[in-house]
């Protein structure tokens, strides 16, 4: 499993167990992470 895949899997797991407010935060954060991973790895 690549580092990129692990990061996304961890984020997705956190989203599953997050509260509604946390989901909104993570959704915004997730976009940044996906962009970061796309450009840096």
36-39: long-range contacts, CB 8 A cutoff, minimum separation 24? 37/4, 37/7, 37/8
Domain carrying residue 21: 3-40
Task: With both helix axes pointing from N to C terminus, report the angle between 20-40 and 3-16 in degrees, rounded to the nearest 10.
Answer: 170
Spatial separation of the C-alpha atoms in residues 17 and 23, rounded to whole Å? 9
Domain count, the chain: 1
pLDDT tier, 41 (very low <50, low <70, confident <90, very high otherwise): low
Say if CB 6 and CB 37 are below 8 A apart.
Answer: no
pLDDT tier, 1 (very low <50, low <70, confident <90, very high otherwise): low
Encoded tokens for 30: 């997730």
pTM value?
A: 0.31
């Amino acid at each position: 499993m690549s580092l990129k895949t692990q990061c996304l899997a961890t984020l997705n797991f956190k989203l599953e167990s997050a509260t509604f407010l946390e989901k909104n935060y993570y959704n915004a954060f997730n976009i940044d992470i996906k962009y970061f991973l796309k450009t840096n790895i």
